[in-house]
Structure 1
């Protein structure tokens, strides 16, 4: 299983969780089968590239996305690509992964998605 966390800097387990998943510079990915940690650059349209983050991350084989929060439309996009999304991630990437593994992060739903995010960004 591949777990992805938006990273606020260069990525890695010690980096802080980025609070706007679409505008972070990097995503840190942990493969739970191999314990491999790798970082990918955010090349989505938010960062001057092409495509939306859910689409790009699906190409990396991501199974689970851990976010601070995100809009309802983004939750739906991740689900369309078969990825589960959990919210409430904070601290370092490693702390977010440990919180998820301990069952402390709730699964994203339309009820706990940030409604103002959708209206503000309109995507």
Structure 2
């Protein structure tokens, strides 16, 4: 297994026990989990979301791309954000659990599905 750098939007900075955010762009933190070539967790780090959603600068996808992920695991996102990640060749997978530890374990077991369609809520125009 090649080295993976996974970014997961979370609502708290509690390491592997952090709970996932319902909306990736409004997550207070992005948890970075690095998986080494043996498939083991090599690093866990929380990065504050300083995008425009939190009074900072830039769109959430731009902030995440600066973290150099190979994989993004989330419950969902708007179609524009999904397109940005697809163009950057970042695998976007649908979360199937509530904590970082649980979704990383599901990732390691190859149980997560690719997110192929963005949310169609009012705040996610095409």
Q: Taking structure 1 as the reference length, what is the TM-score of the superposition?
A: 0.86
1:44-93 per-position Cα deviation (integer Å, ceiling 9, x unaligned): 11111111122112111111000011222211011222211011343111
2:44 is matched with: 37
Q: Name 1:12's counterpart in structure 2.
A: 15
Q: How many residues are treated as equivalent by the alignment?
A: 119
Query: How big is the alpha-carbon RMSD for the aligned residues of Structure 1 and Structure 2?
Result: 1.7
The structure in which a higher percent of residues are strand is 2
Q: Report the counterpart of residue 109 of structure 2 in structure 1.
A: 102
Deviations 1:12-41 (A, max 9, x none): 110101111001110111111261111100
User: Contact (CA 8 Å) 2:75, 2:95: kept in 1 or not?
Assistant: yes
> Structure 2 regions of 5+ residues with no counterpart?
none
The runs of 5 or more residues in structure 1 that have no matched partner are: none
Q: 1:53 to 1:89 in 2, by over 3 A?
A: farther
